[in-house]
Amino acid sequence: MGYESVFKPGLFEGQTIIVTGGGSGIGRCTAHELASLGAKVVITGRRREKLEATAEEIGQDGGAVDLEDFDIREEDKVKAAVATIVGRNGPIHGLVNNAGGQFPARLEDISQKGWETVVRTNLTGGFLMSREVYLQSMEQHGGAIVNIIADIWRSMASMGHSGAARAGMLSFTETAAMEWAHARVRVNTVAPGWVASSGLDTYEGEVRERTKTLPGHSPLARIATEAEISAAIVFLLSPAAGYITGSCIRVDGGVPNKPVHATIRRGEPTLPFEGFHRAVRPKVLDEE
């Protein structure tokens, strides 16, 4: 049993694609799908043991994978890591800036250190990766970059540091799409809403309790699977998106479209796309 992608086999044959934060969650799923479609996937992150576990899975499934552990927030480390990746694998055809992280807190409770840590992770790291991949490969060979942001359209209450960083990444994407178009580099974003990913199990207390109610706030009566986010990412990397740049695909079940005065008409949930054969359902979604 392998990944059941909707895209044609061999779509990325001969291509090298980097997925940051590839050891878990959406990054792990995306790495699996890209490898199943013939790409040489390079997964990156700070924890080597997580990368090794994902790389072992991909290898067992017959995919080609490389890994590099470093901190995307450190400029010198990013420069060196990209140079190493290019030296081992040749030109980089795609980059998925998926790595990110945040913690729940109200604005008045966020310290400067906490604010800057989240902004460096969710904005600065993506900028550094994009710049170095562009300078060291894509400026000469072209390519596609997909930045993962979030559902920021009606604020990110209790995660204002992340919202500010993700909104910044959207603006960065639009600028990079303009400035790098001459080099045949396309830059787009995917904005996931609520996703049944491993990150949901990291939250405790009030946030964990709120997580259990999320399906009831979605017009589609459920939350997304990791494979549904990966499919949007893979599309933007593909030749079919060759005339799309500076854009954002929302994968959020229509949640931001609900007016405050409207009541969601309850019906059966839409059928989820379950293409990821190694997906693990977050425990919190099955708690009472």
Question: Tell me: the pLDDT tens digits for 36-52?
Answer: 999 999 999 999 999 99
- Under a CB-based contact definition with an 8 Å cutoff, are residues 94 and 85 in contact? no
Cα–Cα distance for residue pair 247/178, rounded to 1 Å? 11
Cα–Cα distance for residue pair 129/96, rounded to 1 Å? 9
Cross-strand partners of 189: 147, 248
Q: Which candidate, 7, 6, 57, places its Cα nearest to that of 27?
A: 57
Q: What is the average per-residue pLDDT within 201-227?
A: 89
| Residue corresponding to tokens 């796309």 | 273
Question: Tell me: the pLDDT tens digits for 96-125?
Answer: 999 999 999 999 999 999 999 999 999 999
- Domain ranges within the chain, ordered by starting residue: 16-286
CA distances from 138 to 29, 32, 145, 205, 288 (A): 24, 23, 10, 44, 49
Instruction: Indicate the pLDDT class of residue 212, thresholds 50, 70 and 90.
Output: confident
Question: Tell me: the pLDDT tens digits for 141-185?
Answer: 999 999 999 999 989 999 999 999 999 999 999 999 999 999 999
What six digits make up the tokens of 32? 């699996």
| Residue corresponding to tokens 């942001």 | 149
Q: Which of these CATH numbers, 3.40.50.720, 3.90.1720.10, 3.40.190.10, 3.40.720.10, describes 16-286?
A: 3.40.50.720
Q: CB neighbours of 175 closer than 8 A, spacing ≥ 6?
A: none
Specify the pLDDT at position 201: 83
Specify the pLDDT at position 115: 96
How would DSSP label each residue in 239-266?
Answer: GGGTT--S-EEEESTTGGG--TT--PPP
SS3 content of the chain, % helix, strand, coil (to 5): 45, 15, 40
Q: Which candidate, 179, 166, 161, places its Cα nearest to that of 248?
A: 166
Give me the percent of the chain exceeding a pLDDT of 90. 85
Instruction: Indicate the pLDDT class of residue 262, thresholds 50, 70 and 90.
Output: confident
Residue 140's identity, in one-letter code, is: Q
Cross-strand partners of 19: 43, 96
Q: What is the pTM of this model?
A: 0.96
Specify the pLDDT at position 249: 98
Give me the percent of the chain exceeding a pLDDT of 70. 100
Length of the chain: 288
